[in-house]
Amino acid sequence: MSAIAITAILLGLMFVLLAAGVWIALSLAITGWFGLVFFTGSPPDSNLFTAFWGTTASWELAALPLFIWMGEILFRTRLSEEMFEGLSPWIGWLPGRLMHVNILGCGLFGSVSGSSAATCAMIAKVALPELKRRGYDERICLGSLAGAGTLGILIPPSITMVVYAVAADVSIIRIFLAGFLPGALIMLLYSGYIAAWSLAHPERVPDDAVTMTLRQRLYASRRLAPCLALIGFVIWVLVAGYATATEAAAFGVLGSLAIAASGGSLSWSALRDSLMSAMRLSAMIMFILAGAALLTKAMGFTGIPRGLAEWVGSLGLSPFMLIGALTVVYIVLGTALDGISMIVLTTAIVIPMVQQAGFDLVWFGIFIVMLVEIAEVTPPVGFNLFVLQTMSGRDSLYVARAALPFFWLLVLAIAIITVAPVIVTWLPDLVMNSPPPALK
């Protein structure tokens, strides 16, 4: 049976299970079990154990519950409200007002966490309740959080970038540097869409802007100091080399506890509630990741990713047609695979095709990472959708519809860097090709 036919069967089974109300993690695991039993000779029981253990025992994923707990601490203290009150005087003039905090916050924390799900969960835990309390449209808030949360894997440091750099044998530093400008591009596209949407629907944006003098704005911004100090501290310990991304998350928890305690807003009940809520949300995300890991194993054993990549290679497409075809293939794979698995399972076949077409491998790495971003907001395995579904209490279809405009903005961003690859390559070329100061 062809790879396309097997893909259609597995995706069909998954959609049936989800439509029947089966838990997302169980739907993924059952689909993976079905694929192993009927389309491979690999034992499903041992694959189940190794997939579940290998996923949940990951050191990199240890940052996820820590950043979620950090967000819970901020959420259960006055820090979230103070952050909005500090930002309001400065961005209140923009159409959309405080909804831009979602984009700015995800961009800042994305530079720390390296994880899309952690970034989305962290900012959503702080921003979503406050925006709803102020009367902002829930749908555009959820969509912007789903889209902006993906910045966690594009703005360095990023685990996904490291995986690609190792698989493609390219410089990790160049890949990191190449992510900054595309990340800024996506933030501008998101903020531009929010502004345009707000101008088109002024009745759905609360009129909470106030006229203030510069001195009043600066005084109000003192409320930003705790959050900015926390972000700066976490970035500093990471950049200075004192901590890995996971260890930086632990520093972030300590910093949030210290700030909350110094502000008098930390109590034993708040600490207990934040810890229990973080445990529940982390367990939910880990369970989903474990189910997706079993499905990934099934996809790998059936040869679906390799089969699709080989099929694209056999078409003899022009360079830009090849990029378009790969975009479609990776979007389809993103409906059933996590981003790292997409990279690991297809790189060996795709990289020679890309090199033959004349594309820079650093550029292609950012291209792949942006496609992985799309996978994070593509049902049924879009992890950002799962996170927001749990946090908002809405069903997955509602969250997916809310994220649809930001899905298309990511596609537009891919088109822009394809037409203008200098957006990706300029910064790494500038930094890496410049001689050291002593040699100038």
Token reading at 39: 């389309």
Decide if 153 contacts 369 (C-beta within 8 A).
yes
SS3 241: coil
User: Ramachandran region of residue 235, left (φ > 0), alpha (ψ -120 to 50) or beta?
Assistant: alpha
Top mean-pLDDT range of 22-26, 130-134, 151-155, 185-189 = 185-189
Would you give the DSSP letter of residue 436? P
- Amino acid making up residue 333: L
CA dist 264 and 283 (Å) reads 30
Give exposure, 189-216, as e/b (b: 16+ Cβ within 10 Å): bbbebbbebbeeeeeebeeeeeeeeeee
Determine phi and psi for 380, rounding to 5 degrees.
-95, 0
Q: Measure the CA–CA gap between 281 and 277, rounded to whole angstroms.
A: 6
By the 8 A CB rule, do 403 and 384 touch? yes
For residue 50, give both structure tokens.
């190794």
Q: Residue 192: its pLDDT value, please?
A: 92
The chain-wide mean pLDDT, for the chain, equals: 78
Q: Which stretch of 80-89, 119-128, 132-141, 418-427 has the lowest confidence by average pLDDT? A: 80-89
| Mean pLDDT (whole number) for 34-61 | 80
CB 168 within 8 A of CB 365: yes
232 against 201, higher pLDDT: 201
Type of residue found at 141: C
Give dist(CA 406, CA 140) in Å, integer.
10
Average pLDDT over every residue of 93-101: 77
Q: Which among 363, 380, 376 is positioned nearest to 414, based on CA atoms?
A: 363
Distance in angstroms (rounded) separating the CA atoms of residues 284 and 235: 27
Cα–chain center distance at 107: 10
Res. 319 pLDDT band, cuts 50 70 90:
confident
Residues of the chain with pLDDT > 90, as a percent, come to 6
Tens digit of each residue's pLDDT (9 = 90 or more) over 384-434: 887 888 777 787 788 888 888 998 999 899 999 989 999 998 988 887 765
For residue 243, what are its two tokens?
């901590």
Q: Which residue has the higher pLDDT, 327 or 83?
A: 327
Residue 331's closest CA among 348, 312, 354?
312
What CA–CA distance (Å, rounded) separates 75 from 86?
A: 16
The Cα 278–Cα 270 span in angstroms is 12
Distance CA 183, CA 11 (A): 31
Q: Would you mind telling me the total number of residues written for the chain in this entry?
A: 440
Tens of pLDDT, residue by residue over 342-396, are 776 677 667 777 777 778 889 999 998 898 888 888 776 677 887 888 777 787 7
- The residue behind tokens 């939910």 is 284
Residue 99's φ and ψ, nearest 5 degrees, are -65, -20
Return the higher-pLDDT residue of 48 and 59: 48
440 band by pLDDT with thresholds 50, 70 and 90: very low
Place of tokens 């049976």: 1
